[in-house]
Structure 1
Amino acid sequence: MSKPKRIAILEDDEHLRVYLEEVIAEGEGLILAFSAETLAQAKASLARTACDLCLVDLRLPDGDGLSLLGPLRAAGAKALILTVLGDPASVLMALKAGADGYLLKETPPDQLRRSIASTLAGETPLSPQAATHLLETWKSASGALTRAAEGEGLTPREVEVLKLFSRGLSYREAADILGISPHTIGDHVKCIYRKLAVHSRSEAIFEARQMGLISLLD
């Protein structure tokens, strides 16, 4: 038989913590490594007791549960976020911090145990809300990459125009510096907007900076 997986819990709500302990106790091949209600307790317990995975709450009396992710990684353990926070910022912050999965506390016990198993197997279980936020972020990033590819088609003169705009210059001021007419500047701007898929000078400058075409110092 395979060795039982050691599951730790970091949850400040006593009733929920006891419930999670029961979920672990009833799971085949799972044993409770430790159960903590504060970050300090969890870090102290982790230093004494090894675990394979920890269920991590985000909001705790003494800080953010994400601060436990580093010690967990150092100990070779995985972190499965279990929280009431389903907003995009919390989801993305946790995943960027290295969380191995993100679930809401409303997750049914059987699903929670399956998610623990899949996390231990190297998968990344996500609540429907978290998956939606991640998909939206991917779509946004994909759009940015598309615009970046189009942005590579900007001519040197169009980049010059953007640099001048980023300094706050007007159409006429930019035209005077480049020795061309304001009408020609307008033609360049139309091409820039089309290539970057934007509709204003501020958007064009932002996208160009994101792509590295111009810098904050330009």
Structure 2
Amino acid sequence: MNHILLLEDLPEIRAWLKSLVLQVFPRAQITECSRVHDALAHLPVTRFELALIDLGLPDGSGTDVVAALRDQQPDAQSVVVTIHDDDEHLFPALQAGAYGYILKEQPRELITEQLQRISQGEPPLSPSIARKVIRHFAEQAKPAVNAMPDVALTERESEVLLRVAKGFTLPEIGVQLGLSRHTIADYVKQIYRKLNVSSRAEAALEAQRLGLFRR
């Protein structure tokens, strides 16, 4: 990771998170912000690979920054780092495009481990959050079992989805499949539309449900 955005309004928490990030990504350049406005101002001028974003901020919600990154820098991975573990905060953040969701209350070692997963292509999700997400999709799937079959993806769409779920960027997927970045972006839009998802985290869960990781 070369450039990382760290959005947290409390100085002591921001310093603590920065130390964790540098432990995992020692060469990263970290842009620190304490407000939504400040973070949004950096997006047109700095390309981020990773963003760690708090939700409750003095001038708004970190979810707005997650959504802005999804629209302006689709290759950036947004990870929410928050105290909020309720559905009212979790699912809007995932729908806005969050790649991961980490709870601050966890031990330092566990958060470090979750950050390390990013380099391995795994969405960083706190265990309790992962259970909530899986339960949510399981409950959504129940009434749909008899109503409609699984969405049919083409072989190429499955290849793209698997790589998105593993955390590869659009240019990296393009190189692997011999396609342009714009073509991959079109595939991703089509896949998200078919699966009715809007974030990498949701896409990763769908890829797992469809058995793509077993290929």
TM-score range, shorter chain: 0.5 to 0.7
The aligned amino acid for 2:69 is L
Deviates more, 1:28-37 or 1:57-66: 28-37
Q: Does 1:20 align with 2:17?
A: yes
For 1:34, what is the secondary structure of its paired residue?
Answer: strand
Structure 1, unmatched stretches of 5+, are: 150-218
Deviates more, 1:132-141 or 1:34-43: 132-141
Q: Indicate if the aligned counterparts of 2:3 and 2:50 stay in contact, CA closer than 8 A.
A: yes
1:67-146 paired onto structure 2 within 5 Å: 67-73=64-70, 74-75=72-73, 76-146=75-145
Q: Indicate if the aligned counterparts of 1:43 and 1:71 stay in contact, CA closer than 8 A.
A: yes
Identity of aligned residues (%): 29
Query: How far is 1:30 from its partner?
Result: 4.3
Report what 1:57 is aligned to. Answer: 54
Q: 1:93 to 1:70 in 2, by over 3 A?
A: closer
Larger Rg: 1
Mapped partners of 2:110, 2:78: distance in 1: 16
Mapped partners of 1:116, 1:6: distance in 2: 15
Question: Number of residue pairs matched?
Answer: 146
Q: 1:128 to 1:137 in 2, by over 3 A?
A: same
For 2:32, what is the secondary structure of its paired residue?
Answer: strand
Query: How far is 1:143 from its partner?
Result: 1.3
The aligned amino acid for 2:31 is F
Query: How far is 1:40 from its partner?
Result: 0.9
The aligned amino acid for 1:72 is L
Aligned match of 1:31 in 28, 42, 51?
28
Give TM-score, length-normalised by structure 1. 0.60
For 1:48, what is the secondary structure of its paired residue?
Answer: coil
Structure of higher RCO (CA pairs closer than 8 Å, 6+ residues apart): 2
Q: Does 1:42 align with 2:32?
A: no
Superposition misfits of 4+ residues, deviation over 6 angstroms: none
The aligned amino acid for 1:5 is N
Query: How far is 1:137 from its partner?
Result: 1.1
Query: How far is 1:18 from its partner?
Result: 1.2
Q: 1:21 to 1:42 in 2, by over 3 A?
A: same
Q: Deviations over 1:36-84 (max 9, x none)?
A: 0001111123333332101011111111101112332322311001011
Query: How far is 1:121 from its partner?
Result: 4.0
Structure 2, unmatched stretches of 5+, are: 149-215
Give TM-score, length-normalised by structure 2. 0.61
CA RMSD of aligned residues (A): 2.0
